[in-house]
A and B are shown apart, each in its own frame.
Chain A
Amino acid sequence: MDMNQYLSMFIDESNDHLQSLNENMMGLEANPDDLSIVQVIFRSAHTLKGMAATMGFEDLASLTHQMENVLDLVRNGKLVMQDFIFDTLFKSLDALEAMVQDITAGGEGKADVSSIVASLQAIVRGEVPIAQGEGAAPAAAAPKEAETPALLDEFQLSVLEQSIQEGHQVLFIEVSIRKDCQLRAVRAYMVFELLERFGEVVKSFPSVQDIEQEKFDYNFSLYYISQKTAEEMQTLIMGVSEIDNVTSVALDVETLSQLVKPEVAATAEEAPPAPARENIPPATQTPAAAPQKEEAKKAPAKSSGAPSRTIRVDIDRLDVLMNLLSELLIDRVRLEQHASDIQSGELTETVEHMSRVSADLQNIVMKLRMVPVDTVFNRFPRMVRDLAKSLDKKVDLIISGAETELDRTVVDEIGDPLVHLLRNALDHGVESVTDRIAAGKPETGSIHLRAFHSGNHVFIEIQDDGAGISRDKVLKSAINKGIVTAEQAAAMSDNEAHQLLFAAGFSTAEVISDISGRGVGLDVVKAKISSLGGNVTIYSTPGKGTTFSVQLPLTLSIIAAMLVRIGSEKYAIPLSSIVETGIVKRSQIRSVHGAKMVEFRGSHIPIVSLSAIFNVPDYDESGEEETEIVVIRKSDKLVALTVQDFIGQNEIVIKNLGKYLPSIQGISGGTILGDGQVALIIDANAFIK
């Protein structure tokens, strides 16, 4: 069978599982007693193992297998989660991620994970104290418990083997309760209590949870480690009332190894029945909403492999769809024109209907490109956890609005800037535990990461409750760096001072970040966000915290623009860079040092002739008494562009000019107008230096 056709599916699903593993591990760390989370984690790991083995990625499969062993101990209550176990598991996840990435890049997913495997095995071998069994394995419950000897997996086997070597008795005990017994679960509980007094139950069938809920007939069986002999145990258990029959067999290493063999064959079938029995819903998106046990029981069972009903589409295909659609829209305009010429009622009606349908179609196609930001957000909890740990700070990351949708291209690009801002908030924003206590704050700091819609934009805010930005420190280091003069600094508003954090050069030297308490590479963040057509602002209150607010366009491929005419040519100016439009008289244009300036809201700004810059052949405004202008902005600088006419505001689809014309100064791309012609989009940034 050719596996290549499944490779992309494997990669996608592996990434999903890794993400879910990461999230749930975080959830478990916050809530270590919730065994239902362990179940979800176990299942994810198990599926991953199966997939990797099928695809022939042995290293991946074997590492997941070791993780499974640890997780199985945990879910059976044999192992209490501890920090170093979490760390080892997280390390394993990182290794898995690296392997999947290698596979994505065309590699074979091989990696040297021996040290991680060794520490996982050490955990399994019980170099951690094994807690008294209060839970047991529910997964591979065979339907006929009493007849089929319970299956053991490798690590349970190794526990039993070790016990035998250390001179303990390993017993396989089957207990039948009398048919007329009123409270089977209570009887069973009494048996377990008795057993636990003299030794340790390794595995029972059905599981202890099922037994507690009376989910068994009258029989149950178990593996048991004790110092007592089989006969002694048999007598002791018979001592519990309403017990019908007890058989107790002492096992040696050989019988054990035979018992484990069916397990290897059964591994593949082990997972599918498990979700149905346990009814645990697939991983939820935020760790805070980790499934509670009660909910888990009620929730309908879903296939763990498919978290939501979606299909994956190559973004190139969507682009093709967009192109076809824009052709359709262009034809629609032509049809509308013809219909109005011909004046046939039926034709007009049909065309109108077609217009509505194609408008809806356009909407849908646009929406197809939108993905929720949680695909970016959900990697942050893990990152914040690790970073907080390494900085020795306590931080809660609170995520809201992760369902907010953005164009795929924006989502792909926004990750890195957000990582920077989060690191910044954690590193420089939130204070150390001692400082927080000294400031009278709770020792655990909080970072809010939220996304929301507002008009035609999406905002992503990162708000910390740390010390805030010290204006004086920022200004001092800015003056030292020669970014501003002392006089300029004194005249700056707090807001302007905060913006200095984004100045290039401000953040390059590490010394600065120590003095200022802020900023590694914030200028890079700013540049990246600007390139996405976005903006970032800082609000800070000393002592209370800082908020970085990132404003992003909904989509990169469709923008609102002002269409203007210069001679016979049409140009589109993005609305986001337009401050306002207006008309100036020739007498208002002055010459200052040879440059033309015009007064705008009390200050003089340069006025630039678009027709002159673009050498428009058939228009020259020099003869006109009045000229239309468009005032554009780049950060705080303004320029007035002269045009001939305003055509109007329009939503336009941005197209690049092709590889042969990668960059033309002053032009950022083209768009196709309703009449099928191409209009060029003006890059306002190029006019302001």
Chain B
Amino acid sequence: MAEDIKVIVFKLATEEYGIEVDKVQTIERLMPITRVPKTYTFIKGVINLRGVVIPVIDLRGRFGLEEAEHTDQTRIIIVVVNEMEVGFIVDSANDVIDLNRESIDTPPEVVGGIKAKYLDGVAKIGEDRLLIMLNLSEVLNKSEIVQLESFEG
């Protein structure tokens, strides 16, 4: 019998995603973000999280989805992966569920246009809910991204 894991559920566009709860530090409401120039477009900038400066990534941008206006529901999920603290901007995040590892299937080839390597698997909850489990280290992996514009002084 496989163990149960707790998963934070959040929404991007029409899909629901999950991150294991022990990777998540906090979930914050939207706060002022300081733009950081000369970096990837999906990095929205940095925030002051109780005295610590943390970069925030627009997950829509990271996955190549169309970026959306921020609303009351918009949240920043602070995750810690490989000692990196990063905030993810998501459309909403308001659920924590227990998930049996057995219910997670290996990712299909294409899900909603997001490259499969960002995905750990897909879990089916209840009758018609699909939860996409994220592979955080791939999401934060920068080596695939070519350094953008070079610096012109």
Which residues from chain A sit less than 8 Å from chain B, CB to CB?
Answer: 322-327, 330, 569, 608, 613-616, 639, 655-661, 664-667, 669-670, 672, 676-680, 686-689
**Contacting pair B46 A664 (CB below 8 A):** no
In the assembled complex, which residues on chain B have CB atoms less than 8 Å from the CB atom of A326? 51
Cβ contact of A670, chosen from B37, B46, B151, B152, cutoff 8 A: B46
Cα A330 to Cα B54 in complex, Å, equals 17
**Contacting pair B153 A689 (CB below 8 A):** yes
Bits for B34-57, please: 1 = Cβ < 8 Å to A, else 0: 111111000101111011111100
Contact A322 to B34, CB < 8 A, known contacts A665-B151, A666-B151: no
Bits for B117-153, please: 1 = Cβ < 8 Å to A, else 0: 0000000000000000000000010100000000111
**Contacting pair A686 B151 (CB below 8 A):** yes
Contact A670 to B50, CB < 8 A, known contacts A660-B84, A664-B39, A689-B153: no
Cα A677 to Cα B39 in complex, Å, equals 19
Contact residues on B (Cβ < 8 Å of other chain), bracket: 20 to 34
In the assembled complex, which residues on chain A have CB atoms less than 8 Å from the CB atom of B52? 323, 655, 658
Query: Taking CB as reference atom, which chain A residue is nearest B85?
Result: A658
Question: Is residue B95 within 8 Å, beta carbon to beta carbon, of the partner chain?
Answer: no
Cα A677 to Cα B54 in complex, Å, equals 12
**Contacting pair A660 B86 (CB below 8 A):** yes
Cα A679 to Cα B34 in complex, Å, equals 7
In the assembled complex, which residues on chain A have CB atoms less than 8 Å from the CB atom of B153? 608, 613, 639, 686-689
In the assembled complex, which residues on chain B have CB atoms less than 8 Å from the CB atom of A672? 48, 51, 53
Cβ contact of A656, chosen from B32, B35, B53, B151, cutoff 8 A: B53
Cα A509 to Cα B114 in complex, Å, equals 56
**Contacting pair A677 B48 (CB below 8 A):** yes
Contact A660 to B55, CB < 8 A, known contacts A323-B50, A677-B48, A686-B151: yes
Cβ contact of A569, chosen from B34, B38, B47, B151, cutoff 8 A: B34
Bits for B65-106, please: 1 = Cβ < 8 Å to A, else 0: 000000000000000001111100000000000000000000
A67 to chain B, nearest CB (A): 43
Cα A665 to Cα B152 in complex, Å, equals 10
Q: List 22 A-B contacts (CB under 8 A).
A: A569-B34, A613-B37, A656-B53, A658-B54, A658-B55, A658-B86, A660-B86, A661-B43, A661-B55, A664-B39, A665-B38, A666-B38, A666-B151, A667-B37, A672-B51, A672-B53, A677-B48, A678-B34, A680-B34, A686-B151, A686-B153, A687-B153
Cα A658 to Cα B46 in complex, Å, equals 9
**Contacting pair B37 A614 (CB below 8 A):** yes
Contact A569 to B35, CB < 8 A, known contacts A326-B51, A659-B85, A672-B48: yes
Cα A122 to Cα B38 in complex, Å, equals 68
Cα A579 to Cα B142 in complex, Å, equals 37
Cα A157 to Cα B68 in complex, Å, equals 88
| Top 6 A-B residue pairs of the complex, sorted by shortest distance between their CB atoms | A323-B51, A614-B37, A678-B34, A665-B151, A659-B84, A655-B53
Cα A351 to Cα B83 in complex, Å, equals 38
Cα A661 to Cα B52 in complex, Å, equals 13
Cα A664 to Cα B39 in complex, Å, equals 7
Cα A20 to Cα B35 in complex, Å, equals 52
Cα A613 to Cα B32 in complex, Å, equals 22
In the assembled complex, which residues on chain B have CB atoms less than 8 Å from the CB atom of A639? 153
Cα A613 to Cα B149 in complex, Å, equals 11
B121 to chain A, nearest CB (A): 24
**Contacting pair A660 B37 (CB below 8 A):** no
Query: Taking CB as reference atom, which chain B residue is nearest A612?
Result: B152
In the assembled complex, which residues on chain B have CB atoms less than 8 Å from the CB atom of A670? 34, 46, 53
**Known pairs A659-B84, A664-B39, A670-B46. 5 more at Cβ < 8 A?**
A613-B152, A658-B46, A661-B36, A678-B53, A689-B153
B15 to chain A, nearest CB (A): 24
Cα A656 to Cα B50 in complex, Å, equals 14
B27 to chain A, nearest CB (A): 18
Best-buried of A614, A615, A670, A688 by chain B (most CB within 10 Å): A670
**Contacting pair B36 A657 (CB below 8 A):** yes
